[in-house]
Amino acid sequence: MPHFPVIENMKATEALFSVYEIDSLQIQAILFQTGYVTIKEIEDNL
């Protein structure tokens, strides 16, 4: 049975978008890059 991540109120870090190897891609990053989810707010924690 496939695993579907919860994307409502999802929080992501830069690490989610820093992987480009096909075997290591996260579904959340693919959903964002294809336009299925959008960024609601950015928290700057420098």
pLDDT tens-digit readout, 32-45 = 888 888 888 888 76
For the chain, the structural domain boundaries read 9-46
pTM over 0.85: no
Structure letter (DSSP) for residue 35: T
How big is the CA angle at 5 (ends 3 and 23), to the nearest 5 degrees?
Answer: 70
Cα distance between residue 4 and residue 19, in whole Å: 19
pLDDT confidence tier of residue 46, bands split at 50, 70 and 90? low
